[in-house]
């Protein structure tokens, strides 16, 4: 079965400014990944084509990387939770009249147990994680942007079932975030 999942947010920033934020992913100074509530994104080396890693049980490698612009991650079926998900996810920008749209897409196919796991667990958790990351990026450029987003009841329930604790200690709607220098 084919899957397509898109999340986007418009941010009043240039592509250059937003690209600098994207380039911090998985670094010691990661300003975009929502690690306050989700397992950190980690790779075996800095962002570059061929780097292998992922977050939590989801593994992937960087197939294409255009610094300051776009990253394409290819799924690796190395964990039971991601087995049966084939394809890629990508993070890129689109210019708009009033700023830049930050976009995350998953394109692929699912088979086997993923036919059940994708709609019941993987997609709801993925959606919550990506919305957290996009909101964190938006908050970086607009202090008034609501942050962190409220998790759905289903996402909160899944996190409880998985044994995840909400690690929002010290994070509030008005909490300052580290800025790009």
Dihedral (Cα; 14, 63, 155, 157), 10-degree rounding: -150
Instruction: Domain count for the chain, please give it.
Output: 1
Q: Is residue 178 part of a domain?
A: no
Q: Is residue 150 part of a domain?
A: yes
- Residue 21 pLDDT greater than 60, yes or no: yes
Q: Is residue 142 part of a domain?
A: yes
Q: Is residue 129 part of a domain?
A: yes
Q: Is residue 169 part of a domain?
A: no
CA atoms of 20 and 160, how far apart (whole Å):
34
Q: Is residue 173 part of a domain?
A: no
Q: Is residue 39 part of a domain?
A: yes
Tens digit of pLDDT for each residue in 108-165? 999 999 999 999 999 999 999 999 999 999 999 999 998 999 999 999 999 998 875 4
Given this model, what pLDDT does residue 53 score? 94
Q: Is residue 115 part of a domain?
A: yes
**Torsion-angle region of residue 116: left (phi > 0), alpha (psi -120 to 50) or beta?**
alpha
Structural domain range at position 104:
2-161
Tens digit of pLDDT for each residue in 24-60? 999 999 999 999 999 999 999 999 999 999 998 889 9
- The CATH number assigned to the domain holding 53 equals 3.30.530.20
């Amino acid at each position: 079965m084919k899957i397509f999942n898109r999340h986007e947010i418009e941010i009043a920033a240039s592509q250059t400014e937003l690209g600098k934020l994207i380039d911090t992913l998985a670094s010691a100074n990661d300003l975009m990944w929502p690690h306050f509530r989700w397992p950190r994104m980690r790779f075996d080396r800095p962002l570059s084509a061929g780097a292998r890693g992922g977050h939590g049980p989801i593994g992937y490698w960087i197939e294409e990387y255009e610094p300051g612009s776009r990253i394409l991650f290819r799924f690796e079926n190395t964990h039971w939770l991601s087995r049966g998900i084939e394809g890629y996810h990508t993070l890129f920008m689109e210019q708009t009249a009033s700023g830049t749209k930050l976009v995350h897409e998953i394109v692929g196919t699912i088979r086997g147990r993923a036919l059940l796991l994708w709609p019941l667990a993987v997609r709801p958790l993925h959606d919550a994680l990506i919305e957290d990351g996009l909101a964190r990026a938006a908050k970086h450029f607009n202090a008034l942007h609501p942050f962190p987003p409220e998790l759905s009841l289903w996402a909160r329930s899944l996190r409880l079932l998985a044994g995840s604790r909400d690690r929002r200690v010290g994070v509030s709607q008005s909490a300052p975030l580290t800025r790009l220098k």
